[in-house]
C-alpha cells in the first residue's frame, strides 16, 4: 500500500468510525450540568481534561500496549490501581503487572499472547511464551465540542516476530458532569495478514484494574453486581448485559460500570470479574468459565474483514442503584 493509499484509508476509516460513534446523550448515571472536556497532546500521549483538571491520559505505550491512566472519577480521586504505572499505594497488590489501569487486549490471537507481557513471567520462563505487543501508530483525529471530546487512534497488533496481525482503529468519546465521567469506545479490529483467530481464553478482552479500596477483598464495602442480580464471586464468568463494581475511595462511595452494547457480535457476554480488583468483559472465553447452556468461544476474522466492539464505561458516584445503572443501560442500548 502506498503512502497516499494509506492516508486515504485512515481518512475513510476515521469517517466511518465517527459515523458509527455512539455520542452519549444524557443518561440516568450522567445527569447534571455538563463539564467542558478538552484534549491536550504531550510527550506521553494525550491528556483528557475536565474543566481544566486531569480526567485521564491515553498513554501510547505502557508495558506492551496503550492504556488509560490515571483515571480520576467525579470526586477527583483515582479509581484504578496506581501500580505499576505510578507509585505503589497502601493496600495495593503488586500482582499481574500487565493489568494496567484500563486496556483492550486478548490472551490468544493466532497463538500469540497480547494480554501478558515479559514481566508477567519469571525470567527463565519468558522464552516459553509467544508474546506480542500493541504498537500505537497515529492519532487520526482529536476534537472537542459541547458534547465532549473525541480521540481517534490507530494501532498495530504485532506478533512475537514483529509482524502485524491486526489493525486496531479506536474511537474514544469522553464526557463528564458532576456525578459521572464517561468513556465510550468503538473498537474496530481488521485482519491484516491472513485470517486471524481470536481464541477461547478467559484473559480478555477489555479490562480495568480497580483502586485497591474498591475491591471486594479489601472488605471495605466493595461489591460487584451484574444485570442479572449476581453479586461478587457469583458474577464471575456469568452472562450479563452490564456489570458494576463499586466501593469507597477516599471516604466516598464510587463505582465503575461497563455497558456492553447489544449491537455487538455477541450479546450478552461473560465477564472475567474478580474479587481482587480485575474487571474484564470477555466475549470469547468458554472453556475457562463455569458450564452454561449458552456458548461463546473463538471467532475468526477473515483477511481484510473487520470485527467491531462497542461499549461504554461509567465512572460514577454512589453504587449501581444510586447511579441508576439499569436505566443508563436501557438508554445506551437504544442508541
Provide the pLDDT for residue 127.
75
C-alpha to C-alpha distance for 254 and 320, rounded to whole angstroms = 9
Give a three-class secondary structure readout of 223-275: EEEECCCCEHHHHCCCEECEEEEEEEECCEEEEEEEEECCCCCCCCEEEEECC
The domain containing residue 234 runs over which residues? Answer: 3-334
Q: Residue 81 maps to which CATH number?
A: 2.70.98
Cell 496503550 belongs to 66
Our count of domains for the chain comes to: 1
Kindly give the confidence (pLDDT) of every residue in the chain, 335 residues in length, as a single tens digit, with 9 standing for 90 and above.
443 444 444 444 444 444 444 344 434 454 567 899 999 999 999 999 999 999 999 999 999 999 999 999 999 999 999 999 999 888 899 999 999 999 999 999 999 999 999 889 787 777 778 999 999 999 999 999 999 999 999 999 999 999 999 999 999 999 999 999 999 999 999 999 899 999 999 999 999 999 999 999 999 999 999 999 999 999 999 999 999 999 999 999 999 999 999 999 999 999 999 999 999 999 999 999 999 999 899 999 999 999 999 999 999 999 999 999 999 999 999 99
C-alpha to C-alpha distance for 37 and 48, rounded to whole angstroms = 7
Residue 55 contacts residue 220 (beta carbons within 8 Å): no
Residue 289 contacts residue 270 (beta carbons within 8 Å): yes
DSSP 3-state of 295:
coil
Find, among 196, 202, 205, the residue nearest to 109 by Cα.
196
pTM of the predicted model as reported, rounded to 2 decimal places: 0.90
**What sections of the chain are H helices per DSSP?**
3-20, 325-334
Amino acid at each position: 500500500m502506498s503512502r497516499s493509499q494509506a492516508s486515504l484509508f485512515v481518512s475513510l476509516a476515521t469517517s466511518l468510525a465517527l459515523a458509527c460513534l455512539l455520542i452519549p446523550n444524557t443518561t440516568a448515571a450522567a445527569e447534571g450540568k455538563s463539564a467542558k472536556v478538552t484534549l491536550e497532546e504531550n510527550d506521553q500521549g494525550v491528556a483528557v481534561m475536565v474543566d481544566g483538571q486531569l480526567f485521564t491520559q491515553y498513554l501510547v505505550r505502557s508495558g506492551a500496549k496503550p492504556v488509560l491512566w490515571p483515571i480520576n472519577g467525579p470526586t477527583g480521586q483515582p479509581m484504578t490501581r496506581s501500580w505499576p504505572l505510578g507509585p505503589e499505594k497502601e493496600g495495593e497488590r503488586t500482582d499481574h503487572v500487565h493489568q494496567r489501569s484500563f486496556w483492550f487486549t486478548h490472551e490468544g490471537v493466532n497463538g500469540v499472547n497480547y494480554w501478558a507481557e515479559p514481566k508477567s513471567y519469571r525470567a527463565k520462563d519468558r522464552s516459553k511464551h509467544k508474546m506480542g505487543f500493541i504498537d500505537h501508530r497515529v492519532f487520526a483525529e482529536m476534537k472537542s465540542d459541547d458534547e465532549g471530546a473525541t480521540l481517534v487512534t490507530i494501532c498495530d497488533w504485532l506478533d512475537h516476530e514483529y509482524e502485524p496481525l491486526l489493525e486496531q482503529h479506536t474511537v474514544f468519546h469522553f464526557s463528564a458532569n458532576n456525578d459521572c465521567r464517561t468513556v465510550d469506545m468503538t473498537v474496530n479490529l481488521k485482519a491484516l495478514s491472513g485470517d486471524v483467530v481470536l481464541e477461547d481464553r478467559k484473559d480478555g478482552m477489555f479490562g480495568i484494574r480497580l483502586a485497591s479500596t474498591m475491591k471486594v477483598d479489601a472488605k471495605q464495602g466493595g461489591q460487584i453486581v451484574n444485570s442479572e442480580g449476581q453479586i461478587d464471586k457469583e458474577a464471575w464468568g456469568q452472562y450479563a448485559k452490564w456489570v458494576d463494581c463499586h466501593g469507597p475511595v477516599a471516604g466516598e462511595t464510587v463505582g465503575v460500570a461497563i455497558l456492553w452494547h447489544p449491537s455487538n457480535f455477541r450479546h450478552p457476554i461473560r465477564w472475567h470479574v474478580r474479587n481482587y480488583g480485575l474487571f474484564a468483559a470477555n466475549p470469547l472465553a468458554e472453556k475457562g468459565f463455569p458450564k452454561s447452556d449458552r456458548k461463546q468461544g473463538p471467532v475468526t476474522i477473515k483477511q481484510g474483514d473487520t470485527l467491531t466492539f462497542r461499549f461504554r464505561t461509567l465512572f460514577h458516584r454512589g453504587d449501581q442503584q444510586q447511579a441508576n445503572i439499569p436505566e443508563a443501560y436501557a438508554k445506551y442500548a437504544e442508541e
